Amino acid sequence: MLNNYYHATAKVAFEADVLGGDQSVDVAIIGGGITGVSAALHLAEQGFSVALLEAHEIGWGASGRNGGQALPGFGASMHKIHQLVGAEAARRLWDMSVEAVDLLHAQIARFNIPADPVRGYLHAAIKPRHVRDLKLEQEELASYGAPVGRLLEGAELRARLNSPRYLAALEDNISGHIHPYNYTLGLAKAAQTAGARLYARAKVSHVEPGATLTLQAGGHEIRAKYLLVAGGAYLGGLLSGIAGYIMPVGTYIMATEPRDDVAALIPGNEAVADLNFVLDYFRR
């Protein structure tokens, strides 16, 4: 069991299913993070029988331990994406990413998930070059029809983000933040209610391909017509076709002790991130 801020503030009572024997399903899913549980929910709602297999507990991986920032876009600027795939595909990718954030908020509302959703984000410059980049970003996002906000500087910036570290910030009301562990557990509960079986402490140790796939997990055999692999960075060598694409990258978050002044530091409760490639990002 993990011991961290998110676990200490978990509000969803979720009980995983117990894998007590062999079974056959339409879809087997490896991994109980947001990818796996969200897929389990949508597949179960479409009438598929689903067995999700999680090695530890639901939300044990990155989904239950991340920064909670819920943003559209990708790990590169839309300018770069445009260069890579062309205008038409770039627009579709942007729209898809906005839809993903909207879906997240819609699911929180639909299943009444106590994930403390907040819309509001400040993309903050710490170098003069970043200020120029933010102006480009503002134009670029406006060209995608995004309701981008203003570029904040000087006293106006300081009133929203009370730190001398930042030179400017672009406000954005699509992005925001959530409690990711409660979100993951809330989705898991919704998936279970929709009929999916979510097994914890059920590490998949072997996958035998074939017209019907056979998985070994927790001493039992699961046969499935389809397999969704949602094990993320923890898959290790399970699937040889994927193993070569996994490499170790360290990324960390921490919670401070409670601070009385935190509301005065970010009065609008936005998520904040700087523009560095290896970035700092934070929220109340």
Ligand X SMILES: Cc1cc2nc3c(=O)[nH]c(=O)nc-3n(C[C@H](O)[C@H](O)[C@H](O)COP(=O)(O)OP(=O)(O)OC[C@H]3O[C@@H](n4cnc5c(N)ncnc54)[C@H](O)[C@@H]3O)c2cc1C
Binding stretches for ligand X (CB under 6 A): 30-36, 53-56, 60-63, 65-69, 203-204, 230-232, 234-235, 238, 251-253
- Nearest by Cα to 218 from 58, 54, 60, 28: 54
Please, what is the minimum distance in Å from the beta carbon of residue 207 to ligand X?
Answer: 9
Please, what is the minimum distance in Å from the beta carbon of residue 111 to ligand X?
Answer: 17
Please, what is the minimum distance in Å from the beta carbon of residue 271 to ligand X?
Answer: 8
Which is closer to ligand X, CB of 195 or CB of 232?
A: 232
* Euclidean distance between CA atoms 41 and 145, whole angstroms: 31
Count Cα atoms within 13 angstroms, Cβ side, for 110.
Answer: 11
Which is closer to ligand X, CB of 49 or CB of 66?
A: 66
* Euclidean distance between CA atoms 134 and 128, whole angstroms: 10
Distances (CA, A) of 267 to 53, 157, 257: 41, 11, 18
Unique residue bearing structure tokens 């983000």: 161
The residue at minimum Cβ distance from ligand X is: 33
Report the relative pairing of strands 23-30 and 50-53 from DSSP bridges.
Answer: parallel
Reduce the DSSP state of residue 24 to 3 states and report it: strand
Please, what is the minimum distance in Å from the beta carbon of residue 112 to ligand X?
Answer: 22
Give DSSP secondary structure letters for 112-155: T-----EEEEEEEESSHHHHHHHHHHHHHHHHTT--EEEEEEHH
Which is closer to ligand X, CB of 14 or CB of 60?
A: 60
Which is closer to ligand X, CB of 54 or CB of 133?
A: 54
Which is closer to ligand X, CB of 54 or CB of 137?
A: 54
Please, what is the minimum distance in Å from the beta carbon of residue 220 to ligand X?
Answer: 13
